[in-house]
Amino acid sequence: MKDLKKASPSQINHIAFIMDGNGRWAKQRLMPRLMGHKKGVETLKKVTEAVFERGIRHVSVYAFSSENKERPVEEVKNLVSLVKEYLKRELKNFVKNEIRLEFMGAIDYFPKDAQEIINDSIEKTAHFSEKVLNIALNYGAQDEIVRAVNLAKSTTHDITKEEFASFLYTKNLPPPDLIVRTGGDKRLSNFMLFQAAYAELFFLNTLWPDFNENELDDILSEFGNRQRRFGKV
């Protein structure tokens, strides 16, 4: 992906990441899966900073899918603890850097203390509008669409797709321009299925803990070279 034109950040409003490969990263090093997730949190911090530095204002990350609940109890507990630690530790940086936190998914599944931390990070950053970090927790796009249908039932007229989008968790965000999946699989795994309609998709073999700024820049360059026609000629 060399010698490609750089995408102007103004062309990109929103980038989303399916952060896959933490478990394999740890396994390759004969470490417990938790170590892969911990390294994954470090990558998350570096990558979100790099994205905002490049002038992209919205970042979404798939941190915990509704299907991840079926993982062994110990791993689910570890993931919830990592999310709590990350939010507690990073809140001062979110405030300092004026980053608004949003969440998508059924947050009421999480223990009370985790919900409190999540709500605290929403409240303390709600007044920021320039940069948004949207974290998918206990999220599934099919559930999100069904939820939106149920919310839309209260309307008495035929709704437009724009109105429908206002019933999704992402009502305050533009649709993703790019969705990047690390870890080698080429699928969306129930992530942002409505919002992804015109997103450019990038699938990398790199495992999430190894993903870095250089690869981000390669992706942004390639994005600049792709023609987005939105179904037109």
On the CB side of 104, CA atoms within 13 Å amount to 31
Residue range at the interface with ligand FPP (CB under 6 A); choices 6-14, 39-47, 94-102, 173-181: 39-47
**Residues 43-82, interacting with ligand FPP (CB under 6 A):** 44, 63, 68, 79, 82
Which residue of the chain is nearest ligand FPP when measured via CB?
Answer: 23
| Residue selected from 183, 192, 202, 219 as contacting ligand FPP according to rule CB under 6 A | 183
- 20 classed as catalytic: yes
- 218 classed as catalytic: no
Identify the DSSP state of 130. S
186-191's contacts with Cβ under 8 Å and 24+ in sequence apart are 188/18, 188/141, 189/18, 189/62, 189/65, 189/67, 190/65, 190/66, 190/67, 190/140, 190/141, 190/142, 191/16, 191/18, 191/62, 191/65, 191/136, 191/139, 191/141
CB neighbour burial string for 132-162, b if at least 16 within 10 angstroms, e if fewer = bbbbbbbbbbeebeeebeeeeeeeeeeeeee
What is the Cα–Cα distance from 103 to 106, expressed in whole angstroms? 9
CB of 30 to ligand FPP, least distance (A): 14
| Residue selected from 24, 54, 69, 147 as contacting ligand FPP according to rule CB under 6 A | 24
Q: Give whichever of 66 and 195 is closer to ligand FPP, judged by the CB atom.
A: 66
Q: Is 83 in the site for ligand FPP (CB under 6 A)?
A: yes
Task: List Cβ neighbours of 233 (8 Å cut-off, separation of 6 or more).
Answer: none
Residue range at the interface with ligand FPP (CB under 6 A); choices 33-41, 167-175, 194-202, 216-224: 33-41
> Catalytic pick from 13, 68, 97, 190?
68
Q: Is 37 in the site for ligand FPP (CB under 6 A)?
A: yes
CB of 14 to ligand FPP, least distance (A): 17
Q: Is 140 in the site for ligand FPP (CB under 6 A)?
A: no
Q: Decide: 57 and 13 in contact? Cβ < 8 Å.
A: yes
- Which residues contact ligand FPP by CB under 6 A? 19-24, 37, 40-41, 44, 63, 68, 79, 82-83, 86, 135, 183
Q: Which residues are catalytic?
A: 20, 68
